[in-house]
Amino acid sequence: MKTFFVSAAIALLFVAAPSRQASAQAAAPARQQAARREKNEQHPRIHAAIKELQEAKAELQAAPHDFGGHRADAVVAVDKAIEQLRLALQYDKK
């Protein structure tokens, strides 16, 4: 069951990530800032995944439908995925 929730959260991440688009003019400076952050930040992809999952959760909660009855389980799965990623980051600091 836990594997299902984590798999669902990861699937949501891949669905939500392509739906976000930035303007072409803002993309270049944003990439430069992200590159600078990646040099100074440990595990930038994990931090980015947490942010994407938080945004996917907000989108799920704001949706006008329940995704065929799967919304509540997906929100729980996203919460668990975020929790596990944060725990992984905390463990890495030890």
In SS3 terms, 23-59 reads as CHHHHHHHHHHHHHHHHHCCCHHHHHHHHHHHHHHHH
Query: Residue 92 domain-assigned?
Result: yes
Reading the block at residue 90, the tokens are 């905390």
Q: Are 92 and 63 in contact (CB under 8 A)?
A: no
Q: Who wins on pLDDT, 84 or 4?
A: 84
Query: Residue 39 domain-assigned?
Result: no
Query: Residue 29 domain-assigned?
Result: no
Query: Residue 26 domain-assigned?
Result: no
CA pseudo-torsion sign 59, 60, 62, 67: positive
Reading the block at residue 85, the tokens are 């990623």
Query: Residue 30 domain-assigned?
Result: no
- For the question of whether the overall pTM of this predicted structure is more than 0.75, the answer is no
* The pLDDT value given to residue 7: 61
Query: Residue 27 domain-assigned?
Result: no
Tally the domains of the chain.
1
Q: What is the average pLDDT across 51-62?
A: 97
Backbone angles phi and psi of 29, in degrees to 5: -65, -35
Distance between CA atoms of 82 and 37, rounded to whole angstroms? 21
